A and B are shown apart, each in its own frame.
Chain A
Amino acid sequence: MPEIQSRTWQGYLRQDGRKGIRNLILVIYTVECASFVAHAVAAGEDDVHVIGFPGCYDNGYAIRLMLALATHPNVGACLAIGLGCEYTQPAKLAEVALNSGRPSDWFYIQEHGGTRTGTARGKAAIETLRQQMRENAVPVAMTWSDLVVGAECGGSDGTSGLAGNPVVGRFYDYLVDRGGSAIFEETVEMIGLRDILLSRAASTDVATQLDATYRKAEDYCRAVRQYSVSPGNFAGGLTSIEEKSMGAFAKSGSRAIQGVLRVSQTVPHPGLWLLDSVPDGHFMQFGYTNPNDTEGIMDLISVGAHIVLFVTGRGSVIGSPVAPLIKVTGNSRTYARMSEDMDFNAGSILEGQRTLDQAAFDLMDMVGEVAGGKPSKPEALGHREYFVMYKHQDTPTLETGCRA
């Protein structure tokens, strides 16, 4: 345990003072029409990840999300690729990344001839960016207090609330106690828990923020007539959103909540934070909050999470770009069946093979290894799923329409 407490590893210092655990080149496409070329550019390049926005009409939320990922501490260089017709401007994305100290480039496919010539243009850019990125790299020692970890759950079953999420919660306590930052989200999976949520607020101001965030989530679910619970959850033994909520909330651990983050907002100071990914009320009503697990994982990475813990009782085969995903299951059968994808078996607690504290230390050890450069299972398998969609948060006026 003392060894874990004082653990250090090498990271990369960025201009804004944040430190990264990876040094990646991020390719961003600005419309679906450019996605094929963007993926062709990244193909076969281990340190190149891809994200992109499918829409032709731009959206403030999606632009903030792409900028947050372009300037994420794990990213060292950026290449933005557009088709040439769309509203979102790759030049602007590259400019922000460049101003953050990251070698950056951009181009429109239409100006370079087409698929093969566009791909060649991108491959050449990657070579140059990689060289600049390596020359610019500033190695720096990192420890727990530099680390931001996100947690998400998906494919939950009856074991998630008993083992998977409690282990993450206990690890979050350890991380926060060592000066690190821990982020949880999924306020639509706190339905029925308003009083419990508010009792965890660090101050009365924070309690007010949490209350508003909770009420918005409840209004959202009522408005779209859909609660965040899936057929697989019911088949796995969860009977109601209230039951799923209590299990999901366990991953927040027990420390005081410092405040509510919005998507793409950098964590203001270390501690435990709630991320609000629910869209604000808008002329399209709300839109969708977390249409799939990957969307929530992207939101967690947008606030600067270096690593995301994904708790799944029933099992899952996703990964993530930019920040490695560590897959935790509370179901020993799922672990045995899907061990090629699952990183951590918290089900051993239910088998009586180790205590919750022991399992949380073991998880912390694994997080430390991945932070130090060891690929997580989804990372080693090449999983880089991403999802950027139209959403509306911090809408200035309804009249601004889908741009907001």
Chain B
Amino acid sequence: MSVAANSQEPPQPRCFQVNADDNVATALDDLGPGPVRILGMGNDRSVTCLERVALGHKLALQVIPAGEPIMKYGVPIGIATVRVEPGAWVHLHNCRSRVDERSSHLDVQTGAAKDTVYA
């Protein structure tokens, strides 16, 4: 407590792990490269974030090999399309739905559809 009170450094950014079986956590702050506290089932462990992960987005807590399920809430929410490193942003560019084919083809930043013809 006293250390934190005297420190001039900004508080460590946070993410939230819902279930003990999860291999991803949700960012509670806008994250950049560096250590991140894992709340929830993470019990205040730390993971080193590799890149920009916006609030509400997910980062990997461990290596997830290509073809393995991405686990959140203790259930598979998709399949890794490439090997995912710990601390990496997990989204449309490296995770696909098991049912919805369209979502893998959307813009990774904005979610905008790229398959609709406007002409």
Q: Which A residues touch B106, using CB under 8 A?
A: 231, 234
B73: nearest residue on chain A (CB-CB)? A246
Q: Which A residues touch B77, using CB under 8 A?
A: 192, 239-240, 242-243, 246
User: Distance in Å from the Cβ of B108 to the closest Cβ of chain A?
Assistant: 8
User: Distance in Å from the Cβ of B118 to the closest Cβ of chain A?
Assistant: 15
Q: Which B residues touch A236, using CB under 8 A?
A: 56
A162 touches B18 (CB 8 A): yes
Known: A158-B27, A350-B28. A234 touches B92 (CB 8 A): yes
A244: nearest residue on chain B (CB-CB)? B77
B49 interfacial by beta-carbon distance below 8 Å = no
A227 touches B57 (CB 8 A): no
Task: Label chain A's interface by main secondary structure.
Answer: loop
A88 interfacial by beta-carbon distance below 8 Å = no
- Which residues of chain A from 310 to 335 have a CB within 8 Å of any chain B CB? 313, 331, 333
A241 touches B100 (CB 8 A): yes
Q: How many residues of A contact B (CB 8 A)?
A: 35
Known: A242-B77, A313-B56. A232 touches B111 (CB 8 A): yes
B73 touches A230 (CB 8 A): no
Q: Which A residues touch B110, using CB under 8 A?
A: 231, 234-235
Q: Which B residues touch A238, using CB under 8 A?
A: 56
A139 interfacial by beta-carbon distance below 8 Å = no
CA distance A241 to B54 in the complex (A): 19
Q: Mark B53-66, 1 if CB is under 8 A from A, else 0.
A: 01111100000000
Q: Which B residues touch A243, using CB under 8 A?
A: 72-73, 77-78
User: Distance in Å from the Cβ of A155 to the closest Cβ of chain B?
Assistant: 12
Known: A162-B18, A239-B90. A246 touches B54 (CB 8 A): no
- Which residues of chain A from 201 to 232 have a CB within 8 Å of any chain B CB? 218, 221, 225-227, 229-232
B3 interfacial by beta-carbon distance below 8 Å = no
Q: Which B residues touch A227, using CB under 8 A?
A: 97, 99-100, 102-103
CA distance A349 to B90 in the complex (A): 24
Name B's A-contacting residues (CB within 8 A).
16, 18, 26-28, 54-58, 70, 72-73, 75-78, 90-92, 95-100, 102-103, 106-107, 109-113
Task: Enumerate 19 A-B pairs (CB-CB under 8 Å) in ascending A order.
Answer: A161-B18, A161-B73, A192-B75, A192-B76, A192-B77, A227-B102, A233-B111, A234-B110, A237-B57, A238-B56, A239-B58, A240-B77, A240-B100, A240-B103, A242-B97, A246-B72, A246-B77, A350-B16, A350-B28
Name A's B-contacting residues (CB within 8 A).
157-159, 161-162, 191-193, 196, 218, 221, 225-227, 229-243, 246-247, 313, 331, 333, 350
The 5 closest A-B pairs by CB, nearest first: A158-B56, A234-B111, A237-B56, A231-B111, A237-B57
